[in-house]
Amino acid sequence: MDKSDKPSTFNNTVAYVKSFIKDKNVASVTPTAANVVRQICDRIDFSKDITVVEYGAGTGVFTFEILARMTPGSRLLTFETNHELAARLMNTSDSRLIVTEESAELVGKIMRENDLSDADYVLSGIPFSFLDPILRVNLVKNTYQCLAVGGEFLAYQASWLMKDTITEVFGNMETDSYLMNLPPMFLMQAKKVG
């Protein structure tokens, strides 16, 4: 990744607020705070080649942190349905990154199309509360399917809405909260055990 690819915090916030005004699915008025991004990324083992899938990249605050930490042999598949935000990410000159404007529930299909084997991590920032309840459950099931055994799902949200569904599908759950983020954020982490 070229350092010039990474937009400044100011440019990120401006782009994000513009998209938030036009697209309700953007859901949060500002990108996740840098210290929260770092703390959540600390939960990922970047010491070896991994495949990471990201749902709802926004301006790419997690995308760029992951690229900065990932090994040269790792891959990152990023979903972002907002056209303007996806287009910004598509300008990134890093061959490890694939950006798609498709919706995250198509994760299995898009991984196959890009010859990606099972994911080691799926990181999600999409607003599950805006999705149809059946779609929410399907998305968690599709996520489980696309993970390798031992792989982990990390969903950060402004609510605990998905806690029960994720626990039911994965059979386990670890949580954390970041109350100083705007809005306060809750992390649900679950592992595919077999």
Q: Is 121 in the site for ligand SAM (CB under 6 A)?
A: no
Residue selected from 51, 82, 165, 189 as contacting ligand SAM according to rule CB under 6 A: 82
User: The tokens of 140 are what?
Assistant: 């968690």
Of the ranges 57-65, 108-116, 164-172, 173-181, which one interacts with ligand SAM (CB under 6 A)? 57-65
Rounded-to-integer distance, Cα 177 and Cα 36, Å: 10
Q: Is 58 in the site for ligand SAM (CB under 6 A)?
A: yes
Residue selected from 15, 41, 53, 57 as contacting ligand SAM according to rule CB under 6 A: 57
What minimum distance in Å lies between the beta carbon of 194 and ligand SAM? Answer: 28
Residue selected from 41, 66, 67, 85 as contacting ligand SAM according to rule CB under 6 A: 85
Supply the DSSP string of 73-118, one letter for each residue.
T-EEEEE--SHHHHHHHHT---TTEEEE-S-GGGHHHHHHHTT--S
- How buried is 193 (Cβ within 10 angstroms: 0-12 exposed, 13-18 middle, 19+ buried)? exposed
Rounded-to-integer distance, Cα 165 and Cα 187, Å: 14
Q: Which helix (H) or strand (E) holds 188?
A: strand 185-191
Q: Is 61 in the site for ligand SAM (CB under 6 A)?
A: yes
Where do we find the tokens 């890093």? 94
CB closer to ligand SAM, 34 vs 193: 34
What minimum distance in Å lies between the beta carbon of 9 and ligand SAM? Answer: 11
Q: Is 25 in the site for ligand SAM (CB under 6 A)?
A: yes
